[in-house]
Amino acid sequence: MNKFSIGYLYLTVLGLYLIDMFLGSEVLTYMAGVLAIPALLISFVGATKLFRLLGTLFVSAGVIFFLWGNVSVLELPQLMTNNLSLLAFLAMLPWMQSVVRAGRFDRRINQLLQARVKDLGRLYTRSLGTTYLLVAFINLSAIPLIQDVLKQNLAHFSKAVRDDFISRTTLRGFALVLAWSPMEIMVAITVDTTGVSFLEYLPWLLLISGIVLILDGIIGQRFRRVAYEPNGAALTKTINPLEMTKRIFQLSVALTAFLFLVVGIGNLTGLSFIITVTLVIFPFAVVWAILIKRIRSFWTIGAKTWWFRLNNMQNFVVLFVALGFFSGSLNETPFLGMIQEPFMLAANQPLVVLLFIQFTFLAMAMIGMHPIATIGILQEVVVPLYETMNPMSIGIVFITSSLSTASVGTYGITVTMTSQATEQNPYLITLKNMPFALLYGGVGTIIGWLLI
């Protein structure tokens, strides 16, 4: 099956699932589950080796639990739909990123990196801040955009300095801003699994993100002893403060409006946070494009980007469908209770539990386990702890610990992208950013512990 038809298969599965959110028809959900089975099998062919390995492990374990739990074969399609909401969420994200590109907000903000500064310490702060701003709206797409500009600006520095600078500023800014982004899948999963409102999480996640951002900005001032001169006059530009402030203000207003719209609709409809964000993204992006008078560019960029992403979701289809089958089968066996028992024994030592969660994410990332897969297992294990511990404390550690791995996961997509862009060893990137990951996760764990 070629990619063209794969996109239609994915669209059919996700379309049936989302329509069922309104109609409440178990038949549509069941049909989506039936189609998810061939979608999983076909996606294995196009998935990368890492995701095929993860998928194989989860399916194999799921089969064992499925047989152990004596689950009927007729219930199999229902187990395959457990994570379809996450796939639908990922499928809609390109529309939000497209309206930002159509409005050329990314180009304007990226000009911050092309303005004159006196030393690398100031450029560090500016690069970190620029990454922080752009990732909030275009997510992973911001990484290559910023890294390309930095590679040009730092071309005349030694490779060691250039590589270290780029991997620090871009990966750390990326990991920090996602902590409070409603369009980050780890945040969406955590909100739904813990049952705590996103607005309750928001001030604490902003606090953690801000603290670590400031601390890393201060640490980055060690680069101040290195004088900076852009590589070529073309890269030395004067920023229009009024224009830049206007663009950042527009983005801030748009994000704030999106947050309140998602929370308001979620409260009115009772839909889960993930589903609400998924359904709001497209109409919100359309209205935004109309207001900034870029609707034609939005359609041109958005349709192409969305269809490309939809046809290249093999990795996530393998991961999410296999993980859904695994977790659904696990819940039907007594093995889940056996895993939960050690956590219950440590319930009177909440700091130990939170630290265990933090280092589990870190350890799993080191061996190539995607944080979504890790949280998929942990969220089932810690459910009994919600009766004795504040669910928000666990949720905060879930979010900060999982996202801290974006800067150190040797086999993760962000580290891999940076490794390819800078032509450096991914293990070196992991080593350089490990103190940051421990700091980020540690601040989250401390805040979570204080909220117990």
In this prediction, residue 367 has a pLDDT band, given cuts at 50, 70 and 90, of confident
Alpha-carbon gap, residue 162 to 367, rounded angstroms: 27
pTM for this predicted structure: 0.88
Please provide the average confidence, as pLDDT, over all residues in the chain.
88
Q: Does the pLDDT value for residue 287 go beyond 90?
A: yes
Of 12-16, 72-76, 335-339, give the range with the top mean pLDDT: 12-16
Residue 59 has what pLDDT?
94
Residue 234 has what pLDDT?
42
Alpha-carbon gap, residue 177 to 394, rounded angstroms: 19
Residue 265 has what pLDDT?
92
Q: Does the pLDDT value for residue 333 go beyond 90?
A: no
For the residues 22-38, what does the mean pLDDT come to?
A: 88
177 versus 420: the higher-pLDDT residue is 177
Buried b (16+ CB within 10 A) or exposed e, 269-297: eebbbbbbbbbbbbebbbebbeebebbeb
Q: Are 374 and 361 in contact (CB under 8 A)?
A: yes
Residue 168 has what pLDDT?
94
For the residues 283-302, what does the mean pLDDT come to?
A: 94
Alpha-carbon gap, residue 359 to 364, rounded angstroms: 8
Alpha-carbon gap, residue 318 to 407, rounded angstroms: 24
Residue 152 has what pLDDT?
83
Percent of the chain predicted with pLDDT > 90: 50
For the residues 229-254, what does the mean pLDDT come to?
A: 71
Residue 136 has what pLDDT?
84
Q: What angle do CA 168, 450, 342 make, to 5 degrees?
A: 90
**CA 283, chain centre distance (Å):** 22
Alpha-carbon gap, residue 64 to 91, rounded angstroms: 31
Q: Does the pLDDT value for residue 282 go beyond 90?
A: yes
Longest dimension (CA), the chain: 70
33-42, 112-121, 162-171: lowest mean pLDDT where? 112-121
3-12, 86-95, 351-360, 390-399: lowest mean pLDDT where? 3-12
Alpha-carbon gap, residue 95 to 221, rounded angstroms: 37
pLDDT tens for each residue of 64-122: 999 998 888 888 998 899 889 989 998 998 998 899 889 888 777 777 776 677 889 98
Q: How far is CA 254 from CA 142, 249, 257, 350, in A?
A: 18, 9, 5, 38
Residue 31 has what pLDDT?
94
Q: What is the sign of the dihedral through the CA atoms of 429, 231, 213 and 413?
A: negative
Q: Does the pLDDT value for residue 239 go beyond 70?
A: no
22-36, 180-194, 231-245, 356-370: lowest mean pLDDT where? 231-245
Q: How far is CA 223 from CA 121, 214, 404, in A?
A: 4, 15, 23
Q: Give 270-332 as a DSSP string.
A: ---HHHHHHHHHHHHHHHHHHHTT-HHHHHHHHHHHHHHHHTT-HHHHHHHHHHHHHHHHHTT
pLDDT tens for each residue of 211-234: 999 999 999 998 888 888 766 544
Q: Are 409 and 365 in contact (CB under 8 A)?
A: yes
Of 139-153, 328-342, 420-434, give the range with the top mean pLDDT: 420-434
